[in-house]
């Protein structure tokens, strides 16, 4: 099961969407990948309300990113997932978890390095109307986050919301859980601090930083440097107490998933391995299509 939930912030949608499909999981991976140009354009337009010229420019640049991704990233993802499967056939250790997390981050960085130059050029075309649309979308996704995690509710409502989300994520990988497993998982998850409100605060900080970055967009050299730094270091700018709390929560959440892994039955472990293999097969098929089209 995934130990890192992929980010969903605006510019990362451009840079990381393909990686999310391959690593974080999508039940219709081949279909989603083959429609990636449409999906990415949809996300970009949803955030920025692009005009016709901007949409055409976006589509042209995404085509280049997709070509690179098919040629170079897909075979690497197959190898990466193959090693994850090998490790998952045995008891997953903390070292294994850190290796997987590091691998996801490295592949995220590879996409940002490749995609950022095009992103800089595209973002330079944004108008005040585009930025106003972005601010509205930020408000919308923030409201959704608060609703999903019941941040306006009491502790019991928040406990229920986050527990149900976590159980669903685990079931997606393990298949059905027994009632005893669900109760034990809920009990274990209570050891993970309630940092959803801090995460929401940190999301808003990042959003405001991005809006501030956009003011540099017409000085493309400076903007490129600032954008690269912003993408590379998600934690920079966090107040020390927030950084410490989120780091502690991250560590405890990782340990939680390692404890959950030990609760799985042989059949559930087989379900996890089967799902990983399905992704490997899908990526191999996509890579074979790439070779056939050359």
178-237 residue pLDDT tens: 999 999 999 999 999 999 999 999 999 999 999 999 999 999 899 999 998 898 888 889
Residue 15, pLDDT score: 35
Residue 12, pLDDT score: 37
CA distance 231 to 243: 17
DSSP labels for 187-249? HHHTTS---HHHHHHHHHHHHHHHHHHHTTTTSHHHHHHHHHHHHH-SSTT--HHHHHHHHHH
Q: How far apart are the first and last CA of the chain?
A: 35
Residues 167-176: tens digit of each pLDDT: 999 999 999 9
CB distance 202 to 242 below 8 Å: yes
CB distance 149 to 196 below 8 Å: yes
Give the residues of the chain that fall short of pLDDT 50.
Answer: 1-27, 291
The stretches of the chain forming alpha helices (DSSP H) are 10-19, 29-34, 36-48, 52-68, 74-88, 94-123, 128-148, 155-174, 179-189, 196-214, 220-232, 240-263, 266-293
CA distance 4 to 97: 10
pTM of the predicted model, to two decimals? 0.82
């Amino acid at each position: 099961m995934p130990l890192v939930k992929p980010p969903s912030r605006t510019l990362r949608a451009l840079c990381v969407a393909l990686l999310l499909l391959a690593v974080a999981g999508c039940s219709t991976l081949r279909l989603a990948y083959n429609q990636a140009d449409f999906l990415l354009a949809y996300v970009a337009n949803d955030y920025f309300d692009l005009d016709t010229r901007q949409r055409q420019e976006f589509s042209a640049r995404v085509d280049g990113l997709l070509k690179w991704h098919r040629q170079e990233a897909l075979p690497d993802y197959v190898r990466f997932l193959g090693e994850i499967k090998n490790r998952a056939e045995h008891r997953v250790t903390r070292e294994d978890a850190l290796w997987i997390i590091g691998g996801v981050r490295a592949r995220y960085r590879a996409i940002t390095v490749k995609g950022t130059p095009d992103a800089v050029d595209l973002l330079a075309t944004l108008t005040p109307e585009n930025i106003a649309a972005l601010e509205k979308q930020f408000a919308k996704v923030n409201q959704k986050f608060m609703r999903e995690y019941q941040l306006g509710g009491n502790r019991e409502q928040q406990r229920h919301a986050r527990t149900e989300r976590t159980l669903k994520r685990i079931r997606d990988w393990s298949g059905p859980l027994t009632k005893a497993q669900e109760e034990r998982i809920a009990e274990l998850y209570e050891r993970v601090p309630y940092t959803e409100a801090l995460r929401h605060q940190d999301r808003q900080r990042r959003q405001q930083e991005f809006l501030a970055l956009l003011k540099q967009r017409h000085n493309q050299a400076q903007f490129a440097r600032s954008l690269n730094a912003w993408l590379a270091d998600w934690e920079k700018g966090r107040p020390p107490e927030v950084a410490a709390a989120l780091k502690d929560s991250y560590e405890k959440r990782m340990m939680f998933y390692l404890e959950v892994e030990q609760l799985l039955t042989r059949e559930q472990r087989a379900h996890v391995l089967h799902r990983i293999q399905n992704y490997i097969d899908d990526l191999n098929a996509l890579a074979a299509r790439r070779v056939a089209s050359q």
